[in-house]
């Protein structure tokens, strides 16, 4: 299936560590924005990822020079400590990495209780709810995310993915289009999911066209493309086979 694109990056404060990675359409490495190699990427070739998982899912590997997002860890010790919203958020991220999505959702809820205007808290709780099949709760959280930050492209994309899972294809398409409109840098994710949508609705040529756009914009995870059941309706078509010429 088309995947959720996570912001489960461990960080203590938005001012300390921005959840952003840079890559080039013509390379297979991702970098910290401050990396000397990242600074050499031409604007027309620049791709930005919010998480290591996003970069990895797109087929990129870490830069050996800057070792992206190498960061200190927060230890949670002591019972009854009054954690800040950033610490609860960090705890939720760590729980999600272990696969404890319900625990993660609970931690993100604590973060939101501390800061009701924290868009990333709602966004990540929405992802955790989606992973546990609580689709309506996930949509509610993505709705709140874009209410707080109308430019949050990944919230539109992941709300669209949830709509896709619920077979609400028209709503999914609207979300993917909105993400493309507000954030061209992230559009490869939206393109890929539009390909899944049109494949599921058996619109073969449209699906191939959007998948081609996704690949041209930097989506390089061929292992996922080859395994994604959402693309089964186009997998044996001539247009899909022709796309494999773009693999390299």
**Beta pairing partners, 21:** 49
Listed in order, the ranges of the chain carrying CATH 3.40.10.10 are 8-73
Contact 8, 96 (CB under 8 A): yes
In this prediction, residue 85 has a pLDDT band, given cuts at 50, 70 and 90, of very high
Residue whose C-alpha is closest to residue 58's, from 193, 237, 199, 239: 193
User: Does the domain at residues 8-73 carry the CATH identifier 3.20.20.70?
Assistant: no
Residue 27 pLDDT > 60: yes
The confidence score (pLDDT) of residue 43 equals: 77
The confidence score (pLDDT) of residue 20 equals: 67
The confidence score (pLDDT) of residue 69 equals: 55
Residue whose C-alpha is closest to residue 125's, from 111, 14, 117: 111
CATH number of 151-246: 1.25.40.10
Q: How many CB atoms lie within 10 A of CB 33?
A: 14
Residue 77 pLDDT > 50: no
The confidence score (pLDDT) of residue 6 equals: 46
Listed in order, the ranges of the chain carrying CATH 1.25.40.10 are 151-246
In this prediction, residue 72 has a pLDDT band, given cuts at 50, 70 and 90, of very low
Residue 234 pLDDT > 90: yes
Dump pLDDT digits (tens) for 143-187. 999 999 999 999 999 999 999 999 999 999 999 999 999 988 878
In this prediction, residue 54 has a pLDDT band, given cuts at 50, 70 and 90, of confident
Dump pLDDT digits (tens) for 86-102. 999 999 988 888 889 99
Dump pLDDT digits (tens) for 190-204. 999 999 999 999 999
Residue whose C-alpha is closest to residue 111's, from 127, 88, 93, 128: 88
Residue 230 pLDDT > 80: yes
Residue 75 pLDDT > 70: no
The confidence score (pLDDT) of residue 140 equals: 98
Q: How far apart are CA 241 and CA 131, in angstroms?
A: 31
The confidence score (pLDDT) of residue 232 equals: 95
pTM of the model: 0.72
Alpha-helical runs (H) found in the chain: 52-57, 85-97, 101-114, 119-131, 135-148, 153-165, 169-182, 187-200, 204-216, 222-227, 238-243
Mean per-residue pLDDT for 196-218? 95
């Amino acid at each position: 299936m088309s995947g959720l694109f996570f912001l489960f990056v461990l960080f203590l404060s938005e001012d300390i560590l921005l959840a952003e990675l840079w890559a080039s359409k013509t390379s297979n490495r991702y970098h910290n924005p401050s990396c000397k190699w990242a600074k050499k990427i031409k604007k027309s070739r620049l791709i930005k990822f919010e998480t290591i998982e996003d970069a990895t899912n797109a087929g990129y590997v870490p830069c050996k020079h800057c070792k992206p997002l190498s960061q200190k860890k927060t230890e949670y010790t002591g019972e009854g400590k009054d954690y800040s919203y950033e610490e609860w958020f960090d705890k939720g991220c760590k729980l999600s990495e272990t696969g404890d999505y319900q625990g993660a959702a609970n931690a993100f809820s604590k973060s939101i209780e501390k800061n009701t205007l924290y868009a990333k808290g709602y966004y990540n709780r929405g992802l955790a709810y989606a992973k546990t099949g609580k689709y309506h709760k996930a949509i509610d959280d993505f709705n709140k995310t874009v209410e707080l930050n109308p430019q949050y492209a990944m919230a539109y994309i992941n709300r669209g993915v949830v709509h896709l899972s619920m077979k609400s294809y028209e709503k999914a398409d609207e979300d993917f289009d909105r993400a493309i409109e507000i954030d061209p840098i992230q559009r490869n994710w939206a393109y890929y999911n539009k390909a899944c949508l049109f494949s599921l609705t058996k619109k073969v040529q449209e699906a191939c066209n959007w998948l081609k756009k996704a690949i041209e914009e930097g989506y390089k995870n061929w292992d996922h493309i080859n395994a994604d059941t959402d693309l089964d309706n186009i997998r044996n078509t001539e247009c899909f086979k022709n796309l494999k010429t773009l693999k390299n």
